[in-house]
Structure formats: C-alpha cells, structure tokens
C-alpha cells in the first residue's frame, strides 16, 4: 500500500497529557490513544503542535515515541513530529530518534528565522536526504511566520523522500494549485479541522485533526463520507461540529481540546507554560456542550 493510501482519512495530532506537577501522564496518554483508535481514526501523529512539542524535552520525546508505538501496537500507523528552525539539529534528530516503527515524519517549516522560499526548499531537501522515513511537509504560517508557497511545495514534491504535506495556511487558492499539479504519489492533508470538508471537496486526502482527539468517531465519519462523495451525510456531521470548531480554537490550541478531554475524564486539564488552560468561562461552556450533546 502506498503511503498516500495509508495516510488518507483522519490522522489525529494527539495531545500530550500532563499531571498536576507538569510531568507527562502516561496512563492518560494510553487512555487517549485507546479512545481515538477505538473510535475509528486512520492514524496518529505524535509530538506535533497539539502535543505541545516545543515544551517537551528530548528525553521526554524519546520516551513518548516509544510509549506510543507500544500502546498503538500496530493498530494504526504512527507519524512522528520532528522539526525545527535549526536544520543541522533537525537532521541529527532524524538520525537519532527511534523511527523504526514510524510510517512517516511530519516536519514543520522553520519558524522565527523567516527563511526565503529557497531557504525553505534547501532545508527540506537536506532533511529528505537524511531521513530514514518519508517526510511530510507541514505548512502553518500562522505559527511559523513564513508561508510555504504552492510553487515551493510542488518543487519539493518532486524530490525523493518528500511524500506529502499537512497544509494549514488556510488559503484555498494555494491548496487548489497544489492539488492541481501534485504528483500522483503526493499526499495532501488539511491541517484545519473547520476547513477539512471543503478542502476534501477540492481533492485533499483527509485531515490531520485536533478535534479527533475528543470527537474521533464524529469527525472521522465526516471525513470518510466526504472522501466517498457522500456529501449530504458529510455536511450533516460537519454542521453539527461548527460550535466545537469555534470552542477548540477561540483561545488556544491545545488548550481547547484539553478542556474537552478533561471534561470527558480522559486527562487532567494541565498545560505547560507559556500555554495555559482556557478561561473558566470557556471551560464551563465546553462542559455544558458535552453534557447536552455527547454525554446526555
């Protein structure tokens, strides 16, 4: 099976649960893994933005990766997040992190430095030449400060070991340009839950999702309906989730989804600074929504 086929559908950018003392809560992580897999998602992405990777030490990351492999136990593919704005350091991570059981690596575009398009191209080219696993580009200019243009994405798509992209620029024209000209093997997944349905209609292969942490069955069903061209069924589910999309992201991700998961009893509502939990008002609103619509 091609990587594009393996990673079509719903991937979950999984949270990293913490205890009250801010240490990694591995029993809670196991609960979340079992919850999302049992509710039908296609694969897991560990150590992404939603996993709070910037505030997790290297030692913790290594343990989280191994723990995730163990608890997933080959039930679904695992994609590992490895990225940064220091190309040499990122290459070292690709060479030394435990990637034997990874299906691919999701690598965020370099942030803060604001490299040119040629700099972005050369960064990813260097990673692809080193990585033992296929690279998925991750374009999220709202966080990195620099957009990976359609032209640069398509240049990279021609390189060996560049297998796809998580596209989270929110620019529909840019998405359509990539989709129109991509090579057949090149996976294009949405990085925007609220735009996932629309972008699948344009030809995307699925979504790497935040909402699927807390509503995996509903969201993965919506994605499958959309991919199958069953638009009426997909629209019905997508419409039912509109309020959830807003609550998830209005203050911060992953603060929103951690509030949902805490109300569901899966994790503690703890984040590492500089990220903080959602406001009391929003936390209460999320709890009321779940009691009225999910737990009723």
Catalytic residues: 138, 166
The mean pLDDT value for 33-62 works out to: 97
Model confidence at 24, pLDDT cuts 50, 70, 90, reads very high
Distance separating alpha carbons of residues 133 and 125, to the nearest angstrom: 13
pLDDT, tens digit, for every residue of 70-96? Answer: 999 999 999 999 999 999 999 999 999
| Average pLDDT, rounded, for the chain | 97
What pLDDT does residue 294 have? 85
Q: In a 10 Å sphere around its CB, with 0-12 CB exposed, 13-18 middle and 19+ buried, how is residue 296 labelled?
A: exposed
**Res 295: pLDDT:** 74
Extents of the domains making up the chain: 3-237
Task: Tell me how far apart the alpha carbons of residues 101 and 43 are, in angstroms, rounded to a whole number.
Answer: 13
Class in CATH terms, 3-237: alpha beta
Which residues partner with 79 through β-bridges? 45, 104
**DSSP assignment of 89-134, as one string?**
HHHHHHHHS--TT-SEEEEEPP-SS---HHHHHHHHHHHHHH-SS-
Q: In a 3-state reduction of DSSP, which class is residue 11? A: strand
Query: Which of 24, 19, 20 lies closest to 46 in space, CA to CA?
Result: 24
Q: Judge whether residue 296 has pLDDT over 70.
A: no
**For residues 201-228, average pLDDT:** 98
With CA atoms as reference, report the closest residue to 207 among 6, 8, 2, 3.
8
Q: Tell me what pLDDT residue 27 has.
A: 98
């Amino acid at each position: 099976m091609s990587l594009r086929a393996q990673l079509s559908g719903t991937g979950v950018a999984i949270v990293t649960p913490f205890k009250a003392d801010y240490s990694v809560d591995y029993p809670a992580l196991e609960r979340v893994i079992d919850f999302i897999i049992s509710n039908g998602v296609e694969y897991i992405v560990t150590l992404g933005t939603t996993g709070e990777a910037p505030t997790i030490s290297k030692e913790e990351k290594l343990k989280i990766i191994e723990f995730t492999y163990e608890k997933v136990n080959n039930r679904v593919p695992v994609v590992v997040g490895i990225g940064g704005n220091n190309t040499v350091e990122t290459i070292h991570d690709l060479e030394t992190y435990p990637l034997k059981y990874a299906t691919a690596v999701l690598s965020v575009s370099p942030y803060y430095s604001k490299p040119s398009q040629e700099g972005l191209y050369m960064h990813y080219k260097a990673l692809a030449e080193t990585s033992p696993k296929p690279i998925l580009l991750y374009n999220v200019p709202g966080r990195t400060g620099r957009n990976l243009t359609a032209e640069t994405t398509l240049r990279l798509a021609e390189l060996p070991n560049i297998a796809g992209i998580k596209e989270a620029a929110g620019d529909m024209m840019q998405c359509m340009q990539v989709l129109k000209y991509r090579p057949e093997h090149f996976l294009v997944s949405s990085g925007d839950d609220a735009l996932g349905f629309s972008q699948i209609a344009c030809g995307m292969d699925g979504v790497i999702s935040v909402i699927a942490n807390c509503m995996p069955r509903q969201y993965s069903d919506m994605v499958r309906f959309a991919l199958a061209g069953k638009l009426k069924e997909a629209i019905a589910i997508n419409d039912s989730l509109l309020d959830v999309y807003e609550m998830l992201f209005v203050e911060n991700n992953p603060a929103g989804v951690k509030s949902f998961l805490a109300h569901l009893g899966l994790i503690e509502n703890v984040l590492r600074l500089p990220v903080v939990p959602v406001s009391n008002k929003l936390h209460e609103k999320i709890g009321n929504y779940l009691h009225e619509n999910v737990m009723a």
